[in-house]
Amino acid sequence: MYQEERLLKILNYLNENHAMSVMEICSLLEVSRDTARRDIVKLVQEGIVIRTHGGVALPQLQREIATYQERLIDETDAKRQIGKLAARLIKDRETVIMDVSTTVQAVAEQIAAKAITVITHSLDIVSILSGREDLQVYVLGGYLHAKNRLFYGPSVIEKLGELRADKAFIGAASIRTDGLYFPYEDDVSVKKEMARRSDQVIAVVDFSKFLSKSVYRLDFDLVDILITDQEVPAEIRDVLDNKNITIIQCEETAKNEEENRHES
């Protein structure tokens, strides 16, 4: 087998599993450890993989970002719980901005407040709320991004600059100790303007976002409340506490409500 064929087989495996040991390369390709190491060196030199202890892995930032519809398929009970809890924060006659996010979509699905106005550039949130006669939907128009199910372009930010909202609900691809992260630079620009145009900014994220990585950062200073499904990692909780960001945890809230019912 030529080296080019072996490299393709390694990359195909990595696309499915993201990491591969030297022994796995030897077993899959039926080659010696020396041959496996030469193949690794070739891939590292080409910048396609990174060297790990005992093997190789795909660089995190080069992994293909799942499409919006694929992420919808992976929606968990956690997102629905977060959405239910976040939707309670919306009061009658408020104006709210809703970001493009599967978790924010879960918020939209469970809105009980009446006579509200929802501002969004999410095609799916527009679809969800279009059947509601007790609220208004203002669409931030622009070019349609069919893959990610959103409207984009300079007109989105320009329109946001003309509006004012009581609350903004935003998602995130990743959360680290220094802020929220997103895969595209335009994402951060839109989120920043949403935050500037809102009296309160609520980030809704499931626990997996604390384990993920992404590229472009939004500072925690723009966030007021963070709603998630599990306990926030200690190092991030300390940062949020120092910045006076309220943390609402689904499991903890459900437990408190259960205790209150028993007491009453």
Q: Using alpha carbons only, what angle is made at residue 115 by residues 112 and 119, rounded to the nearest 5 degrees? A: 90
Contacts 24+ apart (CB under 8 A), 59-64: 60/213, 61/213, 61/215, 63/18
Give the per-residue pLDDT at 70.
55
Give the per-residue pLDDT at 3.
79
The CA-atom distances, in angstroms, between 107 and each of 67, 80, 116, 161, 210 are 20, 8, 14, 24, 20
What CA–CA distance (Å, rounded) separates 205 from 82?
8
At 174, is the secondary structure helix, strand, or coil?
Answer: strand
Give the per-residue pLDDT at 211.
84
Task: Give the pTM.
Answer: 0.70
Q: Mean of the pLDDT values across residues 203-215?
A: 90
Give the per-residue pLDDT at 176.
94
Contacts of 53 (CB under 8 A, 6+ apart): none
Q: In this predicted model, what pLDDT tens digit does every residue of 27-61 receive, in sequence order?
A: 999 999 888 888 888 888 777 788 877 788 877 54
Per-residue three-class SS string for 187-209 = HHHHHHHHHHCEEEEEEECCHHH
- Phi, psi for 172 (deg, rounded to 5): -160, 150
**Domain layout of the chain by residue ranges:** 3-62, 68-260
Residues of the chain by 3-state class (helix, strand, coil), percent to 5: 45, 20, 30
Which stretch of 2-6, 106-110, 149-153 has the lowest confidence by average pLDDT? 2-6
Fold for 68-260, please state it. Rossmann fold (3.40.50)
**Correct CATH for 3-62 of 1.10.10.10, 3.40.50.720, 3.60.20.10, 2.60.15.10:** 1.10.10.10
Task: Share the mean pLDDT of the chain.
Answer: 87
What CA–CA distance (Å, rounded) separates 210 from 213?
8
Which amino acid is present at 14? L
Give the per-residue pLDDT at 109.
93
Give the per-residue pLDDT at 257.
54
| Confidence bin at 106 (pLDDT 50/70/90) | very high
| Confidence bin at 138 (pLDDT 50/70/90) | very high
